[in-house]
A and B are shown apart, each in its own frame.
Chain A
């Protein structure tokens, strides 16, 4: 792909990103005149509409930006590390593992919400570990489809247990249920800031891992020939991916299919699998998908809202079916 085309794709992604951010601030279940939105952005806090924009819409836009980018980059890393086009935080059990751990830690044990991201990290890593162990326990070794199937089943188990915990604990349930559906609504801007250093470190780590992952894509032997340690690269990429997914879970709840779909879209647009380019484009397109789903959710069922996670599943699940039916289980 020529430089011009690449710039064109990048430009389009940036335009799309700016469009959803603007739309996310301007559009909501309550329609506000443009002048009031602009007034709120310039710092006025007089009308109710100004407060809606600054206290509700801007925090959820920021949360959507961060969570969308994290999920998409996490998906790129997982697909690269497992060389499996079906790998993604949700399909490997990371998302629901994190969700279960957050429910246990925050809703049942009453720990402060600031530990949510670490609970999500531990839960996600544990769930992914179980899924991996199950997938490799077979005689035929680790097949791509088995890995994803194990993850899907681990997710189903954790989802069932989460629901049972909530059914037995009704007052905890009310706080958590909305979050568990994968929603950006009601995000606190203060919740995003402490996570930002973590996000920056993880994103920098994935940028550094892009080269080794390119080598890994050639096959393990070639990667060793190029001076890489495949196991170490996989482990690091897995850890960074779990960390990114944990941030997204802590911010937006268990949202599925963003991490699966976005890397595929990015690769298709770039017509290339070079990890550095795919990472950059995915980091831009992840928020586009998540915020886009969030905006549709705000207007689709006025005056109530549909959680963003529901819409990403509606968009992403058909892609899973297509990949599952088309994908030749080769590697």
Chain B
């Protein structure tokens, strides 16, 4: 874990270059389709592997084909895209803030997106504009974070604390808005706030895929400068990185990725926090490979959380966001414990 951490600002150590492990990424890339397929098989009616495959490629009777292609496939595709967006967003924010806790759900970005989305639900905007509203909210929260980071210095724990404050204020505002919603829209807002993938259709999948198509390539373009930025501001300037512009770009891309994910699935916590850490443990310090690995791990985590939430306490279905929170929160404690020991 030690060499996965960004070097501290003052004591600049030479970055230990680790063998990038293409093998690990290959394993992940194989694990993802397997996870997707497993998610297509299980549900309130379990299908055999052959049935599910037949339904997927279109050689099945009406009900199986409807369940797999009409209900489960859009849900799983949405879960994959949401997880990938969250994982990538986490890599960008953690690198930028040089802080292992700097993820959109801790720093108030998700909360900002939630606030904007709840307001949008209250204003009865068409569902297609919801991702746009949430991305705007994420952007505003990130801009606030940016103002605070430039004043207090990007590193340091206090910026995380400022993020915790933004998170608390935004969530209080969410409760305030929800209390004023008319009865008819209350249900929609509450289901959305739980962070659920329930009843996601191709519209949702398309919305988040579009966001991913914009955000992910941009993230890959920025990741090179990000790994230089992690060495500290002075070194980054020395290496010819335009600090201010890079930071604004990184924040903007992280906000878009987190925003579309939240807009489609609601606030699913701890994925953006955990996925980058797991990715760095597997493939080493921040690089394009880490970014890809974090996106795949994020996708796997959300798909797994959705399946667990549907099946483990059946017939009660828990929203995926609750599963990630219950399992991911202790991981956060462990992370904090480890972080103090470096």
Do A318 and B169 have beta carbons less than 8 Å apart? yes
Instruction: Report if A321-B166 is in contact (Cβ < 8 Å); known contacts: A145-B161, A306-B176, A314-B172.
Output: yes
A101-109, A155-163, A227-235: which one contacts chain B? A155-163
> How long is the Cα–Cα vector from A313 to B167 in the complex, in angstroms?
10
> How long is the Cα–Cα vector from A319 to B101 in the complex, in angstroms?
21
Least Cβ distance of B60 to chain A in Å? 34
* A-B pairs with lowest CB-CB distance, top 10: A138-B340, A317-B169, A313-B172, A160-B325, A321-B165, A324-B161, A320-B165, A157-B329, A317-B168, A324-B162
B85-93, B150-158, B221-229, B241-249: which one contacts chain A? B150-158
Give 1 or 0 for each of A170-184: 1 = CB within 8 Å of chain B CB: 000000000001000
B303-342 residues at the A interface, CB under 8 angstroms: 313, 316, 318-319, 322, 325-326, 328-330, 332-333, 336-337, 339-342
Give 1 or 0 for each of A307-331: 1 = CB within 8 Å of chain B CB: 1001101101111110011010100
Q: Give the residues in chain A near B316, CB-CB below 8 Å.
A: 167-168
> How long is the Cα–Cα vector from A329 to B172 in the complex, in angstroms?
27
B175 lies within 8 A of chain A by Cβ: yes
Q: A145-B161, A164-B322, A167-B322 are in contact. List 19 more A-B contacts (CB 8 A).
A: A137-B337, A149-B160, A150-B336, A156-B329, A160-B269, A163-B325, A181-B175, A301-B179, A305-B179, A307-B175, A313-B171, A317-B166, A317-B168, A321-B162, A324-B162, A324-B165, A325-B152, A325-B162, A329-B158
Instruction: Report if A149-B322 is in contact (Cβ < 8 Å); known contacts: A140-B340, A157-B333.
Output: no
Q: Give the residues in chain A near B319, CB-CB below 8 Å.
A: 167
19 of the cross-chain contacts (CB-CB < 8 Å) are: A130-B333, A134-B333, A137-B341, A138-B341, A139-B342, A148-B161, A153-B101, A157-B329, A160-B329, A164-B325, A300-B176, A301-B179, A306-B179, A313-B172, A314-B172, A319-B165, A320-B164, A320-B165, A325-B151
Q: Give the residues in chain B near A161, CB-CB below 8 Å.
A: 326, 329
Least Cβ distance of A319 to chain B in Å? 8
A75-122 residues at the B interface, CB under 8 angstroms: 86
Instruction: Report if A157-B330 is in contact (Cβ < 8 Å); known contacts: A145-B157, A317-B168, A321-B166.
Output: yes
> How long is the Cα–Cα vector from A256 to B328 in the complex, in angstroms?
23
Do A134 and B158 have beta carbons less than 8 Å apart? no
Instruction: Report if A149-B175 is in contact (Cβ < 8 Å); known contacts: A138-B340, A140-B340, A164-B326.
Output: no
B265-319 residues at the A interface, CB under 8 angstroms: 269, 313, 316, 318-319
B53 lies within 8 A of chain A by Cβ: no
Give 1 or 0 for each of B160-201: 1 = CB within 8 Å of chain A CB: 111011101101110110011000000000000000000000
A304 lies within 8 A of chain B by Cβ: yes
Q: Chain A at the B interface: mostly helix, strand, loop or mixed?
A: helix
Which residue of chain A has its CB nearest to the CB of B145?
A321
B148 lies within 8 A of chain A by Cβ: yes
Q: Give the residues in chain A near B269, CB-CB below 8 Å.
A: 160
Least Cβ distance of B167 to chain A in Å? 8
Least Cβ distance of B271 to chain A in Å? 13
Which residue of chain B has its CB nearest to the CB of A166?
B322
> How long is the Cα–Cα vector from A37 to B122 in the complex, in angstroms?
36
Instruction: Report if A325-B148 is in contact (Cβ < 8 Å); known contacts: A146-B157, A318-B165.
Output: yes
Q: Which of A139, A148, A306, A318 is the one whose CB lies under 8 Å from B175?
A: A306
Q: Give the residues in chain A near B168, CB-CB below 8 Å.
A: 256-257, 313, 316-317, 320
B1-19 residues at the A interface, CB under 8 angstroms: none
Do B325 and A139 have beta carbons less than 8 Å apart? no
> How long is the Cα–Cα vector from A152 to B151 in the complex, in angstroms?
23
Q: Give the residues in chain B near A134, CB-CB below 8 Å.
A: 333, 336-337, 340
> How long is the Cα–Cα vector from A329 to B317 in the complex, in angstroms?
45
Do B158 and A139 have beta carbons less than 8 Å apart? no
> How long is the Cα–Cα vector from A130 to B337 in the complex, in angstroms?
11
Do A310 and B175 have beta carbons less than 8 Å apart? yes
Q: Give the residues in chain B near A130, CB-CB below 8 Å.
A: 333
Least Cβ distance of A198 to chain B in Å? 29
> How long is the Cα–Cα vector from A218 to B161 in the complex, in angstroms?
26
Least Cβ distance of A156 to chain B in Å? 6
Q: Give the residues in chain B near A143, CB-CB below 8 Å.
A: 157
Do A149 and B341 have beta carbons less than 8 Å apart? no
Least Cβ distance of B150 to chain A in Å? 11
Q: Which of B160, B172, B322 is the one whose CB lies under 8 Å from A163?
A: B322
Instruction: Report if A320-B333 is in contact (Cβ < 8 Å); known contacts: A160-B322, A168-B318.
Output: no
Do B158 and A314 have beta carbons less than 8 Å apart? no
Q: Give the residues in chain A near B161, CB-CB below 8 Å.
A: 86, 145, 148-149, 152, 320, 324
Least Cβ distance of B333 to chain A in Å? 6
Q: Give the residues in chain A near B341, CB-CB below 8 Å.
A: 137-139
Q: Which of A150, A164, A317 is the one whose CB lies under 8 Å from B172?
A: A317
Do A310 and B176 have beta carbons less than 8 Å apart? yes
Q: Give the residues in chain B near A135, CB-CB below 8 Å.
A: 340
A154 lies within 8 A of chain B by Cβ: yes
Q: Give the residues in chain B near A137, CB-CB below 8 Å.
A: 337, 340-341
Do B339 and A138 have beta carbons less than 8 Å apart? yes
Least Cβ distance of A23 to chain B in Å? 20
> How long is the Cα–Cα vector from A214 to B22 in the complex, in angstroms?
60
Do A157 and B332 have beta carbons less than 8 Å apart? yes
> How long is the Cα–Cα vector from A311 to B326 in the complex, in angstroms?
27
Do B151 and A149 have beta carbons less than 8 Å apart? no
Q: Which of A143, A149, A305 has the most CB of B within 10 A?
A: A149
